Amino acid sequence: MGLRAAGAACLVALMAGCGPLPAPVDGAASPGLVNVGDARAAAMRYHDSGAYDRDLVRVAEAARRWVEERAGQVARPTLVLDIDETSLSNWPVMKADDFGYFRTGACDSLPAGPCGYLAWESRAEAAALPGTLTLVNAAQRHGVAVFFVSGRGEAERAATADNLTHAGYRGWAGLYLRGPGTPTASAADYKAPVRAAIEARGYTIIANMGDQPSDLAGGHAERTFLLPNPFYRIN
């Protein structure tokens, strides 16, 4: 009996109720639902293999080529950037917290965790993502204004500005952070109106780059560039 015939016989037997169905296994029981432990291991491999860094640079280089091409063609050309995992890397915290998120609490035992994000951000020690820093420097050489638009709160303005400066970002045109009275259902609901406000000031946003789809949703940019981030999701 060939494989095809054997399969057909088995199918007939199952349809007739002659044999038990195989026990479901995880994944098969819930198609599309990933195992968190497997996802964690895959995320670590993605980072540690160097593929994450390569993909970051690839996207930022595509943005750089577009910005350099477009800058001289519009009035007041502008680049909008998210901050976390777009301009600055929080990898030491992601790793220490095993991809968990602790908003409050100390961050005084790195590289061991736990590390609270507010405490980490107050240290202003996050490193620049190299591809993004290259993009910013190239954009500024071409007369492009750079705005940072972040979901970080206004209370973190001084530390965030210090961190951007220490990481190598200079001469930006604006830093938009969330005010205490501006909660929105999603990051997109906050960021898209900010871009509209930048445009209302006479700037032409030729590129918007972020690591979350919510950084880019809602228009108000000629082109969008999505960096990889398999480590967390901000809706």
Q: For binding to Mg ion (CB under 5 A), which residues are involved? A: 82, 84-86, 211
CB of 118 to Mg ion, least distance (A): 16
Strand locations in the chain (E):
77-81, 88-89, 127-128, 145-153, 174-178, 204-210, 223-226
CB of 212 to Mg ion, least distance (A): 5
CB of 75 to Mg ion, least distance (A): 28
Nearer to Mg ion, 84 or 204 (CB): 84
How many residues belong to the chain?
A: 235
Give the whole-angstrom CA distance, residue 180 versus residue 138: 34
Burial of 56 (0-12, 13-18, 19+ CB in 10 A): buried
Nearer to Mg ion, 85 or 97 (CB): 85
Nearer to Mg ion, 71 or 192 (CB): 192
DSSP state of 125: -
Residue-wise DSSP of 145-182 = EEEEEEEEEGGGHHHHHHHHHHHT----SEEEEE-TT-
Contacts of 69 (CB under 8 A, 6+ apart): none
Nearer to Mg ion, 86 or 163 (CB): 86
Nearer to Mg ion, 82 or 102 (CB): 82
CB of 136 to Mg ion, least distance (A): 15
CB of 211 to Mg ion, least distance (A): 4
Nearer to Mg ion, 74 or 133 (CB): 133
Closest residue (Cβ) to Mg ion?
84
CB of 227 to Mg ion, least distance (A): 8
Q: Nearest to residue 169, comparing CAs of 89, 93, 88?
A: 88
